[in-house]
Structure 1
Amino acid sequence: MNGDTKRSAAVRVRDAFENILGIPVPVRVRCWDGSVSGPESAATVVFRNRRAIRRVLWSPGELGLVRAYIAGDLEIDGDVYALLSLPELVTRVGAFDVRDARRALGGVWELARLGGVGLRPRPPEVEVSRRRGIKHSRARDASSVSHHYDVGNEFYRIFLGPSMVYSCAYWDETAKDLDAAQHAKLDLVCRKLGLRPGMRLLDVGCGWGSMAIHAARRYGVDVVGVTLSREQAAWARKAAAEAGLSDRLEFRVQDYRDVDDGPFDAISSIGMSEHVGDAALPTYAAALHSLLRPQGRLLNHAIAAVRTRDPGGNDKPGLIQNYIFPDGEILPLSRTVDAFEQVGLEVRDSEALREHYALTLREWVRSLQESWDDAVASVGAERARTWLLYLVASALGFEEPGRLTIHQVLAVRPADDGTSGVPRTRSQWLAASKTRELDAAEAP
């Protein structure tokens, strides 16, 4: 007891976590009493008060640390990437893997003596409350989408930039910055869909309308965009009016399952199917199939798990489920492809964009950090911290192969005679579409 009191709080905290996790903790710790422990060159975790310890003990693993950081009880001093890029540490914290139970209990006891005993701290205000209703019902999906997207359009503009595109950009040889890369992505989708003047496009999960506006302006199509976010729809309608395209664009606050005015010549779904869920994926595939005309194309752009996850893994408490995408599910690519093929869609192409998303996320983080004060003023410190942690962790997740990836899957609804209407090679249909795009751009 007397020996423990002579050691600083930082030394005791660091030793306790090493005992709990069973590995050396390669970070620097600074505590509420000003004490410091750990290598000077390492990323520094700051325990601003004893409540941070209580959060960890009441919610062991990822959730407790996330709550402490978002609430401001715990801070990261220096490079956030440096801390979150320690794979063994992050994996061990997330799973709370204990190799030596006796030693781990000693670490828990040490944290308790440091101030971990007490009432359970209230979760940060921005945390999703207990979910009610049937998972992926229309009402519950609308609530989940509203939690993520209806936090203020100005906040998203701060880190998305003028493009207002909240999905992986396409960093081709023409993309010199984020806006150019997002333009290239939207153009790539249009080309894969074979858009041309007079076509009718359904944009599922239309966001702030960027894809719809690009398709109408550059390819001369009429677009119906659907979203469950009222704030997104309001922004999209205003942007369409400012572009002089209101007569070509319709934005609805509507569930994709309620769209009944098909057929459409093409459907784009960009960064939306992650909200659908495994159980509802067959419904999603069938609905889009029914809305396509024969030879109509579907472009599904979505994050994918590299390997099949454990049942219920998508519902694990932590940053994603409690703060970012409640009810969101990241599925293997094979699961999506199978769902499409089961309803009669023919998958013609799949392109992996993993490295592209890592670059995109890095740009979003840079923009958010550069405008940090504006972000906090817009949505508050808790929500700003939430997004920073999420974007940094996601960037690292896409940079390391074997964790996350993202695919653009192109599918077609074949005609009754079996024809697809898709040229035989990728170069043929991309070149043909590019020619149509240039013609449309030159039109008055």
Structure 2
Amino acid sequence: MATENRAAPLLAKALGIVLGTDEIPLRLRAWDGSEAGPPDAPVLEFRHRRALRRILWSPGQLGLSRAYVAGDIDAPGDIFAAFTALSSAGKFSEPGPFRPLTPRELGTLLRTAVRLGAVGPNPAPPPEEARITRKGRLHTRQRDAAAISHHYDVGNDFYALVLGSSMVYSCAVWSEASAAGTEGLPAGLDAAQRAKLDLVCRKLGLQPGMRVLDVGCGWGSFALHAAQNYGVTVVGVTLSSEQAVLARKRAAEAGLTENVDIRVQDYRDIDDGPFDAISSIGMSEHVGREQTPHYVDTLHSLLRPGGRLLNHAISWNARPTKPDPDSFIPRYVFPDGEMLGLGEMVTALEGGGFEILDVEALRQHYTLTLRAWVRRLETNWDEAVALTSLGRARIWRLYMASSALGFESGLTGVNQILVQRAGGAQPPLRRTDWI
């Protein structure tokens, strides 16, 4: 057992073994009140021995994530500063999954855990961990519906706290003025989301009377914006029943019931095309690499000749793209989600018969969007916890803050790819129609 008020130095040694580094750029605070590490560094607080036990059983990102979600670890100050420091340490700074511990490292970690009194049975994962089976065929209709429900059916009121009145759950488009200073980000969020929705409408060349498909329509924000401002009719499809309920309510309140049709439907089951334009905003990440050609073929078949598709999706930037099933995001946030590289998506769209009209990278815009969401969550923390659970709120704080840093560093990107099906009117000579 560790000497009283002396746990932190041993804890630093244990964490260093897991991360593969001799120096951790954090101030570690242990459950006994002791501290170790640079005095001016961001604080990472280990509130319970159970945190180290979780890491001992799952020595990598999963163990650390479980400990954070369960409240055994906390970042009590600036979470961005703490995660920035942690991401620069050892294995976190390396691409790809965590390197497994060597037998020697594992033995040293175990002996250190014994001294800290942290050895014991594997603690049960937090109840918010996805219960979707890790075996079997990916991206069946039933499995995709379960994965979407895990992420999106956690309460519309909770999402409203985080997203603001726009209820848009994808990257906003910020002006220089609205992005000035992180303190102003939440205030400028709604305007930045409206700017994004309008940009998509202009890129799609929407005109009154057009029929538009919104794949993965969320809470209906794009459908409402397009119908209200461009005089189109929109079919929006989602696999989330909670999203559909609110989207229909918003359409009714806006007097757009005749113009906006919200369905709980898999995109693979849509059989009432063709459409003049299709938007897919933050949806193709759920499709999976193997299903992407079928996704492209399906949307191509649903478009009229000359119709445009806008695919807005997160991507890996020149990094390994195979998902690590034992990392935080698949376990807690997006089960079965899979990001493709920009080149992969462009190749798939061209292979499906589309002509590329435009590609726009919005990486920096997503950093600003995520920071605004984190600020809103932290400002409304007590209410967010009451609407869901403490674990769920902690998941979203961890997921959004770490994602912001991923976009900030260039590890991940987000791109709008505008394509057109052959036939019909020629596209404009330049982008002047939508810039």
Which of 132, 136, 140 is equivalent to 2:139?
136
1:173 Cα offset (Å): 5.1
Give the distance between the partners of 1:130 and 1:187, measured in 2 at CA: 36
1:325-363 per-residue CA deviation (whole Å, 9 max, x = no partner) reads: 000001101111111111211111100000000000010
Q: Structure 1's 105 and 213: CA in aligned 2 closer, same or farther, altered over 3 A?
A: same
1:286 aligns with 297
**Paired residue type of 2:115:** R
1:363 aligns with 372
2:427 aligns with 422
Larger gyration radius, structure 1 or structure 2: 1
Give the distance between the partners of 1:143 and 1:6, measured in 2 at CA: 47
1:59 aligns with 58
Residue 315 of structure 1 contacts residue 327 of structure 1 at CA under 8 Å; is this kept in 2?
A: no
Residue 145 of structure 1 contacts residue 229 of structure 1 at CA under 8 Å; is this kept in 2?
A: yes
1:408 aligns with 416
Report the secondary structure of 1:364's partner residue: helix
Give the distance between the partners of 1:258 and 1:385, measured in 2 at CA: 35
Which of 195, 202, 212 is equivalent to 2:223?
212
2:183 aligns with none
Report the secondary structure of 2:154's partner residue: coil
TM-score with structure 1 setting the length:
0.91
**Paired residue type of 2:271:** D
Counterpart check, 1:88 vs 2:88:
yes
Give the distance between the partners of 2:31 and 2:10, measured in 1 at CA: 13
Which of 265, 270, 285 is equivalent to 1:274?
285
1:96 Cα offset (Å): 4.2
**Paired residue type of 2:417:** V
Give the distance between the partners of 1:291 and 1:143, measured in 2 at CA: 25
**Paired residue type of 2:25:** P
Q: Structure 1's 328 and 96: CA in aligned 2 closer, same or farther, altered over 3 A?
A: closer
1:64-116 per-residue CA deviation (whole Å, 9 max, x = no partner) reads: 01001101111112111111112332336985447986466323420233123
Give the distance between the partners of 1:343 and 1:399, measured in 2 at CA: 32
How large is the RMSD of aligned CA atoms in angstroms?
2.0
Give the distance between the partners of 2:231 and 2:391, measured in 1 at CA: 43
Structure 2 gaps of 5+ residues are: 180-187
**Paired residue type of 1:189:** V
1:120 aligns with 122
Which of 338, 348, 351 is equivalent to 2:347?
338
Q: Structure 1's 130 and 235: CA in aligned 2 closer, same or farther, altered over 3 A?
A: closer
Structure 1 gaps of 5+ residues are: 432-444
Give the distance between the partners of 2:372 and 2:9, measured in 1 at CA: 36
Report the secondary structure of 1:124's partner residue: coil
Residue 173 of structure 2 contacts residue 365 of structure 2 at CA under 8 Å; is this kept in 1?
A: yes
Which of 169, 178, 184 is equivalent to 1:166?
169
Which of 105, 108, 113 is equivalent to 1:106?
108
Give the distance between the partners of 2:43 and 2:94, measured in 1 at CA: 18
* Identical counterparts, % of pairs: 54
1:74 aligns with 73
Residue 278 of structure 2 contacts residue 308 of structure 2 at CA under 8 Å; is this kept in 1?
A: yes
Residue 175 of structure 1 contacts residue 184 of structure 1 at CA under 8 Å; is this kept in 2?
A: no
Which of 134, 153, 157 is equivalent to 2:160?
157
Q: Structure 1's 93 and 339: CA in aligned 2 closer, same or farther, altered over 3 A?
A: closer
TM-score with structure 2 setting the length:
0.93
Matches within 5 A, 1:316-335: 316-335=325-344
1:406 Cα offset (Å): 0.6
1:16 Cα offset (Å): 2.4
2:37 aligns with 38
Residue 5 of structure 2 contacts residue 32 of structure 2 at CA under 8 Å; is this kept in 1?
A: no
1:32 Cα offset (Å): 1.7
1:425 Cα offset (Å): 0.5
Give the distance between the partners of 1:308 and 1:358, measured in 2 at CA: 18
Residue 312 of structure 2 contacts residue 417 of structure 2 at CA under 8 Å; is this kept in 1?
A: yes
Q: 317-326 vs 26-35, which deviates more?
A: 26-35
Count, aligned residues? 422
1:224-278 per-residue CA deviation (whole Å, 9 max, x = no partner) reads: 0000000000000000000000010100000000001000000000000000000
1:45 Cα offset (Å): 1.6
Counterpart check, 1:15 vs 2:13:
yes
Matches within 5 A, 1:234-245: 234-245=245-256
Residue 96 of structure 2 contacts residue 320 of structure 2 at CA under 8 Å; is this kept in 1?
A: no
**Paired residue type of 2:224:** I
Q: Structure 1's 322 and 247: CA in aligned 2 closer, same or farther, altered over 3 A?
A: same
Give the distance between the partners of 1:19 and 1:149, measured in 2 at CA: 36
1:35 Cα offset (Å): 1.6
Give the distance between the partners of 1:113 and 1:82, measured in 2 at CA: 30
Q: 94-103 vs 360-369, which deviates more?
A: 94-103
1:408 Cα offset (Å): 0.3
